[in-house]
Amino acid sequence: MPADPAVTGHLHAQGPAPTGDVQLQLTDVHHSVRSRGSTVEILRGVELTARAGQVTALLGPNGAGKTTTLMVAQGLERPTSGTVRLLDQDPWRAGADLRSRVGVMLQDGGMPLAATPERLLRHVCTLYRDPVDMPRLMERLGIDEFARRDIRRLSGGQRQRVSLAAALAGRPQVIFLDEPSAGLDPVSRQLVFELIRELRASGMAIILTTHLLDDAQRLADHVVLLRQGRVVRRGTVSELTSTSEAPALHFRVDRAVPSVALDEVPAGLTVQAEPGHSSAGGGTPTGSSYVVHGAQRPSDLEALAAWWTRHDLMPTDLHLARRSLEDVFLEVTP
């Protein structure tokens, strides 16, 4: 779907910042809370930078500190120590001028359940001096299809789209998205992805959290991985997933590979049954999956094909899989 200038090209009231300019900076941020008479440290020296024209993904297991990091970055919580600069201001002390330049999409929405999307979004637009063309944005997100239905009657994915539209109402320079694809059906998910890419291209700084690592891998320019309140990995997707090892080759056959065949795997290669799939001597009606390590040259693939031929194995599925964000996530998550 082509970009809609009502949504992207004219979204910034004062014009977008030059791509690459720092829009959010957290430096050595700590945040502690009192719980049952003791102090619990939630954030432990978090460092984070988000730039104009980029998507920054904040990842981590439950309890890693993602939501607290967003709340501190937005000025909803005050850090115990450290520095937060949002559009070159302290968000905890900032006033309406900063608030009007920042959009926030919360996963739970916080929307009045008795209102309709049409009434709610029309009201949100009255809070800004120069709001986005909301009818066109609603059409773009497919909200017009349920605009007059009470929010309490909407699905989780429909509420997510309404929440996103509300976050974009004031033409923000920076937007925070908490689980933007949660509950979305595949079509709605693609709509939101396309819009996020267009907003990034327009120069907006986008900071998002997600539990769906495939989403982060598809969307993010920069990834920050949290664990127990600390940043344990950071970088671009390619930096985090790069490796000197050859990509693994996965194949599926309609029967388990016999033990004798596994004993005759070509030199330099290893073939192992994938977890959860049958191995030698088993076999299932849906087939068996294997992973091959060590294939680095065309001659290795030629030797593998000859091995399949010798043992009458015909792959029904075959693909190379490079290291993914999920692999990185599992390395640092217990």
Q: Is the confidence at residue 1, as pLDDT, over 80?
A: no
Which position has the higher pLDDT, 31 or 179? 31
Residues contacting 206, CB < 8 A, separation 6+: 50, 54, 55, 56, 174, 175, 177, 196, 199, 200
- 288 closest CA partner among 269, 323, 314, 267: 314
pLDDT of residue 4: 57
Q: What percent of the chain has pLDDT over 90?
A: 65
Distance CA 277, CA 252 (A): 10
Q: Is the confidence at residue 107, as pLDDT, over 70?
A: no
- Report whether 33 contacts 62 (CB < 8 A): no
Residue 278 token pair: 């049958």
Strands 230-235 and 102-105: unpaired
Name 39's bridge partners: 34
pLDDT of residue 109: 64
Predicted confidence (pLDDT) per residue in 190-227, tens digit:
989 999 999 999 999 999 998 889 899 999 999 999 99
Q: Is the confidence at residue 281, as pLDDT, over 70?
A: no
> What is the set of domains in the chain, with CATH numbers?
22-240 (3.40.50.300), 248-332 (3.30.70)
Average pLDDT of the residues in 160-187: 92
- Look over the chain and give the mean of its residue pLDDT values, rounded to a whole number: 88
Distance CA 30, CA 228 (A): 12
- Report whether 147 contacts 138 (CB < 8 A): yes
- 289 phi, psi to nearest 5 deg: -110, 145
Q: Where are the alpha helices (DSSP H) in 291-333?
A: 298-310, 325-332
pLDDT of residue 188: 87
Distance CA 196, CA 219 (A): 8
Looking at residue 107, the DSSP 8-state letter turns out to be S
Residues contacting 171, CB < 8 A, separation 6+: 10, 11, 12, 13, 128, 130, 131, 132
Q: Is the confidence at residue 9, as pLDDT, over 70?
A: no
Q: Is the confidence at residue 185, as pLDDT, over 50?
A: yes
